[in-house]
Amino acid sequence: MPKLLIATNNAGKVAEFRKLLDGCGWEIVTPVELNIELEVEEAGQTYLENATMKAVAFAKASGLTALADDSGLEVDALDGRPGILSARYAGPDLTDAERAGELLKELAGVPDEERTARFRCVIAIARNEDNVRSVEGTVEGRIAREPRGENGFGYDPVFLLPDRGLTAAELTPDEKHAVSHRGVAAMKARKLLESMLHDD
C-alpha cells in the first residue's frame, strides 16, 4: 500500500485526516512517525498557494506523496477577514479561544443577519512540484454571539450552523466531518487519491 504523508504538525488536523481518509487505499503517515521536522512558512496569498507550498516541501523531504491543507474563516462583515490569516489572527501567540474572543469583539455591534461567514478549506496533494492536484470545500454559517461547545478546535465554538442551531464545536466528530469544510474537501480528496492509485 503506498504511503501518504499528512503534511502538518497539528495533532488535531492529523487526527481529523486519519478519520476522513480511512480506507482510501493509502497508508497514512505523519512527519513525527518519519522523524521529519519541517516548518513551512505560509507566505502565499491564497489558500491554494499555502497548501501547495506545504505539500511540495513535505513531498521533497520525504520522497512520498504528501497532502496538505490550508483553511480559514471568512467573515462577510469583516470583508472576508481573517481569511488566510485565520491561524495567526490578532497576533502570533494567542490561543484558539483568545483568537475567537478577538473576533467576537470586532463583531460586537453587528446584528445576527449580518454575521454571515464561511469556512473554506483547500487540499493540495503533491508527488513533486510538477505534479500537484487540489480540491476545495466550503461550509456556510454565521458567527455566534458567544463560544459554545467542547468539540473541535480553532473557531469551531463560534461558528454557528443555522439550520442545526448548533456551533461546529457542539457537533459530534462524525456530524462535523459530514458537513465541515475539511470534511467536504477530504471527500473530494479521497476520490482524487483513489484515482491516483488507478493511474499508477
What pLDDT, on a 0 to 100 scale, did the predictor assign at position 69? 96
How many structural domains does the chain have?
A: 1
Q: Give phi and psi for 137, each to the nearest 5.
A: -135, 145
Chain position carrying cell 485526516: 17
Residues designated catalytic: 70
Q: Is pLDDT at 199 greater than 80 in this prediction? A: no
Residue 28's domain comprises 3-199
Q: Is pLDDT at 122 greater than 80 in this prediction? A: yes
Residues 152-178, mean pLDDT to the nearest whole number: 91
51 three-class SS: helix
**Percent of the chain whose predicted confidence (pLDDT) is above 70:** 100
What pLDDT, on a 0 to 100 scale, did the predictor assign at position 200? 65
Whether 72 and 47 have beta carbons less than 8 Å apart is answered as yes
Task: Write the CATH number for 62.
Answer: 3.90.950.10
CA 141 centroid distance within chain: 16
Q: What pTM, to 2 d.p., does this model score? A: 0.90
Residue 20 and residue 68: Cα distance in Å, rounded?
14
| pLDDT classification of 135: cutoffs 50, 70, 90 | very high
Query: Which residues touch 189 (CB under 8 Å, ≥6 apart)?
Result: 21, 67, 123, 125, 135
Query: Which residues touch 104 (CB under 8 Å, ≥6 apart)?
Result: 143, 145, 146, 147, 158
What pLDDT, on a 0 to 100 scale, did the predictor assign at position 194? 92
